[in-house]
Amino acid sequence: MEKVRRILVHLSKENAAPQCARFLQSITGHFVGSAEDQATVSCSLENNRFILGDRLCDGGVPLKRASFCPIKYLSDSEAVSLPSETLSRGVDVGVAVLLQSANQKLLLTRRASSLRSFPNVWVPPGGHVELDEKLLDAGLRELLEETGLNLSPDEICSRLLGLWESVYPPMLTIGLPKRHHIVTYILLKSSQTHLQIQASLRPDPAEVSACVWVDADLVKAVVSAVDGEKECVQIPADLPESIRLNISLCISDFIYFPSA
C-alpha cells in the first residue's frame, strides 16, 4: 500500500535549511530551551511543508505548549518503548478555527465519543491540513465538514492568532504519546450574530456530538483552571458541568485573543 503523504512540521534556525521535525522533538523547546513553554516564531506553508523558524517578520507569531506537555517530560526509557510506527510519524499540522459572531460569541464543538483522539472533548472546529491546501482553506473545509457551516473567505475576516504544540494523550499519566501536532489557530470574524449562524448549523454526528456558543472570557476562565494557573479563576456558576470538565487541555491562550 502506498504511504499517505502528510503535511509535516519542518524547523529552521539561524538561516539553516529546514529539517523535518522528529516525533519526539520538542518544537517549542527547539526555539527557547526545555524550561520555557512559549516562543515567538515565523511560520509559512511552502511546498507542502509547514516551516517554523527564528527569523521574525512583522513580529512573528506566538508558539505555546502546556506546562505539562508530555514531550517535555518523556524519559529515555519511555521514549525507547514507543513503537517504530509512532516514532517515524514526524509532527503533523492541524488547524483550528475560532468562529466569532458579531455579538462576540465563540463556537465550540464536542468531539464524538468514537474518535480516536480527544473523544468527548470541547474544542474549536478543526482538523488536518491536506496536501496543497492553504491554512484558511483547510479551516473553512473542516468547519463545513464538522458543522455544516459553509463560509467563503469573502464572508469573514480572518487572522492567524498563534500556534499550539498539541500531544495526545495530553498528559503522561494518561499514556505515552501517540500523536504530535502543531495546531494553527485562526480567528474567523463573522458579520452575523450567533443566532443567525445557528440556523445553518448541521453538525456531523460522526465527528461532533454537540455545539455551544460561549463568551471568550468564559473560555479563558475554564482553560486557565484546567491548565493549573496559580491565579484564582472564577468560573461562571451557570456554565454546564459537562463543559467545565471537558474543555480541551490542548486549547491554548490563543482562544482569548478575539476580543483584542
Comparison of pLDDT for 219 and 114, the residue scoring more: 114
Instruction: Please give the pLDDT value at position 249.
Output: 37
pLDDT tens for 132-151 read 999 999 999 999 999 999 99
pLDDT tens for 61-83 read 999 998 899 999 999 999 999 99
Under a CB-based contact definition with an 8 Å cutoff, are residues 187 and 101 in contact? no
Q: Report DSSP state, residue 259.
A: G
For residue 192, how many other CB atoms are within 10 A of its CB? 16
Tell whether the model's pLDDT for residue 19 goes beyond 50: yes
Strand partners, 93: 182
Kindly state whether residue 3 falls inside one of the protein's structural domains.
Answer: no
Kindly state whether residue 2 falls inside one of the protein's structural domains.
Answer: no
In this structure, of 32-36, 56-60, 121-125, 198-202, the range with the lowest mean pLDDT score is 56-60
Separation between Cα atoms, residue 24 and residue 14, nearest integer Å: 22
- 148 Ramachandran zone, left/alpha/beta (phi>0; psi -120 to 50): left
Q: Report DSSP state, residue 256.
A: G
Grid cell in block for residue 61: 507569531
For residue 183, how many other CB atoms are within 10 A of its CB? 23
pLDDT tens for 204-258 read 999 999 898 988 777 666 555 544 444 445 555 665 555 554 443 334 333 333 3
pTM of this prediction? Answer: 0.85
Instruction: Please give the pLDDT value at position 57.
Output: 75
Instruction: Please give the pLDDT value at position 230.
Output: 44
Instruction: Please give the pLDDT value at position 222.
Output: 56
**CA pseudo-torsion sign 224, 172, 123, 160:** positive
Q: Report DSSP state, residue 2.
A: P
Task: With H, G, I as helix, E, B as strand and everything else as coil, classify residue 64.
Answer: strand
Q: What is the per-residue DSSP string for 183-235?
A: EEEEEEEESS-HHHHHTT----TTTEEEEEEEEHHHHHHHHHHHTT-SS----
Kindly state whether residue 54 falls inside one of the protein's structural domains.
Answer: yes
Using alpha carbons, list the distances in angstroms from residue 212 to 58, 170, 209: 34, 23, 11
Kindly state whether residue 77 falls inside one of the protein's structural domains.
Answer: yes
Residues 6+ apart with CB under 8 A from 1: none
For residue 219, how many other CB atoms are within 10 A of its CB? 22
Separation between Cα atoms, residue 116 and residue 204, nearest integer Å: 16
Under a CB-based contact definition with an 8 Å cutoff, are residues 107 and 213 in contact? yes
Q: Report DSSP state, residue 21.
A: P
- Residues 119-133, mean pLDDT to the nearest whole number: 90
Mean of all residue pLDDT scores within the chain: 85
* CATH number, position 158: 3.90.79.10
Question: What percentage of the chain exceeds 70 in pLDDT?
Answer: 82
Instruction: Please give the pLDDT value at position 234.
Output: 56
Kindly state whether residue 199 falls inside one of the protein's structural domains.
Answer: yes
Q: How far is CA 79 from the centre of its chain?
A: 24
| Domain extent for 127 | 8-259
Kindly state whether residue 99 falls inside one of the protein's structural domains.
Answer: yes
Instruction: Please give the pLDDT value at position 164.
Output: 93
Separation between Cα atoms, residue 15 and residue 231, nearest integer Å: 39
Kindly state whether residue 1 falls inside one of the protein's structural domains.
Answer: no
Q: Model confidence at 131, in pLDDT bands (50, 70, 90)?
A: very high
Instruction: Please give the pLDDT value at position 258.
Output: 31
Domain count along the chain? 1
Q: Model confidence at 56, in pLDDT bands (50, 70, 90)?
A: confident
Using alpha carbons, list the distances in angstroms from residue 227 to 63, 170, 257: 16, 11, 17
pLDDT tens for 151-196 read 988 889 999 999 999 999 989 999 999 999 999 999 999 999 999 9
Instruction: Please give the pLDDT value at position 241.
Output: 57
Q: Model confidence at 100, in pLDDT bands (50, 70, 90)?
A: very high
